[in-house]
Amino acid sequence: MIKVDRAVIRKAQLKDMDQLIQLCQEHAEYERSEYNPKGKFVKLTALIFSDQAPVNCVVAESEGQLIGYVTFMKQFSTWDAAYYVYMDCLFLRETARGQGIGKELMRSVVRFARDEYCSQVQWHTPDFNHRAIKFYRDYGAISKTKERFFLDLK
């Protein structure tokens, strides 16, 4: 657990699930995407809290309310012949931005990556999210232009 300003950065707990799902909804809206919360409580609980859970989740909490989160997982790159951490989501409510909370969430991902002997951290952000792009560049990240494709298997 780490304190930043009035926020506490800590691993997600089962009691956070309803608020985490709400943050996911807000994140999707921010990124101009659809989000259906149906069934997410059960699915996310299994992925984040089961034995050998594949997904890590760290949250930012202030005055008993979640104000941000980051999710990430260990992955493998054949090209690099090395493991890396893929950061799936990093989101802060508007009122929590610019206070160092995002940097601390990033640090939690970097600590995990180093502890797991990973060579790098990778992630995506929409090209219209200029504030996030500036945040990541200021943090020292570089970008590579690629198209992301989706194949639904429904």
User: Tens of pLDDT along 16-47?
Assistant: 999 999 999 999 999 999 999 999 999 999 99
Helices 130-139 and 101-115 pack at an angle, to 10 degrees, of 50
From residue 31, give the alpha-carbon distance in Å to each of 18, 73, 79.
20, 21, 30
pLDDT on residue 132:
84
CATH topology of domain 2-139: Aminopeptidase (3.40.630)
Break the chain into its structural domains and give their ranges. Answer: 2-139
User: Tens of pLDDT along 51-83?
Assistant: 999 999 999 999 999 999 999 999 999 999 999
Report the candidate in 4, 21, 154 with the shortest Cα–Cα distance to residue 12: 21
Contact 19, 10 (CB under 8 A): no
Report the alpha-carbon distance of residue 123 to residue 64 in Å, rounded.
Answer: 29
